[in-house]
């Protein structure tokens, strides 16, 4: 019975998580087709991506909080429904302005769907070894979606047009809604506990202003009045957040979690890994098209050694964790990151694709395996009733890290550096980030033993 329930959880959560990840990469490929379909609104193209990222990132903590408070299954179902509705409306959008609004609806759905899918898996797999395998599978499917997104998007657009990249989500949404109803819902926190409205407002403003700053600063300038106003807002609300939340009975952002060294280490490593990988992915996508004259489809093929390695690393993570343990798996991944970027920074001007691609599998394996390992650490460090908000904090740190990586590494190209020089500068910067993550991880785990989960104490 237990195995049947666990299988049901995976069947219900994995396909829908895949479409959320797939939607991020697949829509990037559709931008050129959208610019031809709506030439009068081409200036708004960036916000097709940014609207989704902004709403998704800003509401992640809210999504996890709702799952912990009311029920991860119910919150997941609502998120799945909203994501499906947004996908349908995007596929029927009459203009880019309407598409941007419908992408925001998708973002709301994703903010509920993603943390609660992970919460359902964590609650349904209480044994550490089983949880590690399930999370590795969850992350592995995300890696496969990332790898297939550019190619699948190119094929769908070529044969069926840009609307198909949104409509293709609907069968997976319907299947997920049917399957999720067959899962028993975990116990909820009493709804009589006051809702943390103040925490919601502060977290949305803090995360939202941070993401908008990182999206806009490369275009408007880091010292423009707009960027400085956003930076000031973000800093003020991030400082305000822990002071307000520590006095709340059921805080949306529990500051006491960050007192735990292993929790803090897991969140920081997640942040640095996202900054590193997505910053590089963005930079490589532009360099391959600008300097190597690759088409978008050729760029998708060229990045396959990187993206496939992410999926392989995720799927192998449970075995790696069983062999090395969570602590040493993360250390090994950080060292792989360091080796890959140390190799890239040594490449000179005029480097060909194949010389550059040597580092892709190494970096991809690190990016794939590090997520399940840090997720196991984070989920093992909190009470079952905090799994949703923990998943939200981890995913929010990933979203902010990815946005910061794109902003930082995009600045190198905007500043006029050559492709090879941009890669070398980015690699040195990444090496410093990876070094800081290594230091904090060793501080969080001075010994090889993973701290016991609350259930084991």
Task: Summarize pLDDT for 223-254 with one digit per residue, the tens.
Answer: 888 889 999 999 999 888 888 877 777 777 77
Q: Rounded to whole angstroms, how far apart are CA atoms 389 and 258? A: 13
pLDDT, residue 101, reads 92
CB contact set of 106 (below 8 Å; sequence gap of 6+) = 23, 52, 82, 83, 86, 87, 90
Residues of the chain with pLDDT under 50: 1, 189-190, 452-457
Element (H, E) at 145: helix 128-160
Task: Report, in this order, helix, strand and coil percent for the chain, each rounded to 5.
Answer: 80, 0, 20
- Give exposure, 152-186, as e/b (b: 16+ Cβ within 10 Å): bbbebbeeeebbbbbbbbeebbeebbebbeebebb
pLDDT, residue 81, reads 93
Any alpha helices (H) in 38-95, and if so which ranges? 46-69, 72-91
Q: Rounded to whole angstroms, how far apart are CA atoms 1 and 447? A: 37
Handedness of CA 228, 234, 240, 244 (dihedral sign): positive
Tokens of 268: 């920081």
CATH 1.20.1250.20 fits 1-181, yes or no: yes
pTM comes to 0.79
In contact, 333 and 366? CB cutoff 8 Å? yes
In contact, 131 and 395? CB cutoff 8 Å? no
Q: Rounded to whole angstroms, how far apart are CA atoms 144 and 107? A: 21
Task: Check residue 186 and report its DSSP letter.
Answer: P
pLDDT, residue 109, reads 93
Q: Rounded to whole angstroms, how far apart are CA atoms 293 and 392? A: 39
φ, ψ for residue 455, nearest 5 deg: -70, -25
Specify the domain boundaries for CATH 1.20.1250.20 within the chain.
1-181, 253-457
In contact, 251 and 378? CB cutoff 8 Å? no
CA distances from 16 to 78, 81, 168 (A): 13, 11, 12
Tokens of 422: 């941009």
pLDDT, residue 155, reads 80
Q: Which CATH superfamily is domain 253-457 in?
A: MFS general substrate transporter like domains (1.20.1250.20)
């Amino acid at each position: 019975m237990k195995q049947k329930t666990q299988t049901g959880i995976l069947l219900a959560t994995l396909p829908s998580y895949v479409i959320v990840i797939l939607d991020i990469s697949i829509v990037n490929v559709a931008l050129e087709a959208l610019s031809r379909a709506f030439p009068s609104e081409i200036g708004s193209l960036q916000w097709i991506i940014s609207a989704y990222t902004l709403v998704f990132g800003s509401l992640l903590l809210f999504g996890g909080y709702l799952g912990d408070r009311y029920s991860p299954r119910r919150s997941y179902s609502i998120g799945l429904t909203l994501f499906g509705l947004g996908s349908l409306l995007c596929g029927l959008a009459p203009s880019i302005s309407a598409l941007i609004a419908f992408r925001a609806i998708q973002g709301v759905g994703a903010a509920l769907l993603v943390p609660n899918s992970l919460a359902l898996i964590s609650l349904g797999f209480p044994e550490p070894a089983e949880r590690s395998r399930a999370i590795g599978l969850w992350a592995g499917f995300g890696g496969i979606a990332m790898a297939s997104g550019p190619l699948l998007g190119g094929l769908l657009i070529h044969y069926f047009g840009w609307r198909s990249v949104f409509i293709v989500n609907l069968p997976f949404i319907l299947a997920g809604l049917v399957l999720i109803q067959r899962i028993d819902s975990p116990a909820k926190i009493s709804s009589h506990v006051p809702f943390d409205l103040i925490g919601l407002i502060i977290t949305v403003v803090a995360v939202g202003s941070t993401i908008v700053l990182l999206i806009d600063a490369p275009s408007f300038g880091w010292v423009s009045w707009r960027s400085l106003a956003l930076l000031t807002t973000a800093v003020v609300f991030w400082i305000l957040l822990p002071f307000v939340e520590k006095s709340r009975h059921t805080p949306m952002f529990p500051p006491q979690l960050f007192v735990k060294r292993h929790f803090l280490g897991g969140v920081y490593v997640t942040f640095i890994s996202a900054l590193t990988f997505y910053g590089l992915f963005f930079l490589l996508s532009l360099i391959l098209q600008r300097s190597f004259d690759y088409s978008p489809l050729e760029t998708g093929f060229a990045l396959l050694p990187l993206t496939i390695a992410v999926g392989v690393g995720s799927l192998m993570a449970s075995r790696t964790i069983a062999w090395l343990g969570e602590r040493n798996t993360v250390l090994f991944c950080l060292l792989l990151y360091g080796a890959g970027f140390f190799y890239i920074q040594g490449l000179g001007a005029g480097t060909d694709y194949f010389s550059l691609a040597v580092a892709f599998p190494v970096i991809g394996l690190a990016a794939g395996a590090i997520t399940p390992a840090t997720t196991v650490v984070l989920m093992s460090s909190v009470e079952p009733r905090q799994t949703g908000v923990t998943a939200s904090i981890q995913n929010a740190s990933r979203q902010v890290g990815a946005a910061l990586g794109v902003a930082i590494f995009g600045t190198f190209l905007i500043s006029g550096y050559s492709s090879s020089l941009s890669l070398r500068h980015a690699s040195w910067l990444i090496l410093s980030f990876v070094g800081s993550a290594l230091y904090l991880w060793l501080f969080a785990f001075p010994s090889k033993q993973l701290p016991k989960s609350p259930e084991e104490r």
